[in-house]
Amino acid sequence: MPELIRRGLVAEPQPRTPDDEGRLTYREWPVGQYLLKVAKGADKKARELLAGVLRSLAGSKHPDVRRDGLEILANLPPEESAELADIAVGWLMKGAYILGINPAETLVARLAAAKKNHACLKVGSALLQVFDRDGNVDSLYSRHMYEHSLPKIEEAITGALGLDALRLLR
């Protein structure tokens, strides 16, 4: 990991050009899969380095970095991912499509189960946000998936947090 960091190989991919917009691309950030393995590993020092990498990418708008980053956060021990909740919130930005929102749901459920209430509520609020898009109600979910996913998220959050889960409604 230190060598990858030193060589700048964990940086986000080149920004997309206007010609790329609208085209579905995937795996433009191949180091994300390696970082996911680090997140799942037992090496605490490597995970500390990984946290620094994620902090350096917190402002990324690249879909691969955001999607893989959310999966990485969901696979870190909850005590560590709770410290990085603001990064997840930033990646769950209004109006930006993420191919697959499941890692964010997993992150919320794992934070709830670990009683990391503050982090769980922050990430859960970002995940479940609704907003206006051209006069219509919209969310980070693709059409009809909000209604599909809400009961599963609600069960995880209220089962672990009880009435504290009501804070999501603010």
> Residue 60 domain-assigned?
yes
- What's the CA gap between 76 and 46, in Å, rounded? 11
Q: What's the pTM value of the predicted model, to 2 decimals? A: 0.87
* 68 contacts 33 by C-beta, under 8 angstroms: yes
Residue 127 lies in a domain: yes
- Bridge partner residues of 131 (DSSP): 138
The answer to whether residue 19 sits within a structural domain is no
**Residues sharing a CB contact under 8 Å with residue 123, sequence separation 6 or more, in sequence order:** 85, 88, 89, 92, 104, 107, 108, 111
**Burial bucket for residue 81 (CB in 10 Å: 0-12, 13-18, 19+):** buried
Higher-confidence position of 125 and 57: 57
Q: Report whether 86 contacts 135 (CB < 8 A).
A: no
In a domain, 161, yes or no: yes
For tokens 């946000």, what's the residue? 129
Q: What is the pLDDT of residue 159?
A: 74
Asked whether residue 20 is assigned to any structural domain, the reply reads: no
Predicted local confidence at residue 21, as pLDDT: 57
pLDDT in tens, 30-45: 899 999 999 999 999 9
Q: How many domains does the chain have?
A: 1
With respect to residue 22, please indicate whether it lies within any of the assigned structural domains: no
Under 8 Å between Cβ of 53 and 35: yes
- How wide is the angle at C-alpha 126 spanned by C-alphas 107 and 117, nearest 5°? 55
pLDDT score recorded for residue 123: 93
Please give the residue range of the domain that contains residue 125.
Answer: 2-9+27-169
Burial 122-159 (b: 16+ CB within 10 A, else e): bbbbbbbeeeeeeeeeebbbeeeebeebeeebeebbee
Q: Is residue 128 part of a domain?
A: yes
Structural domain includes residue 17 = no
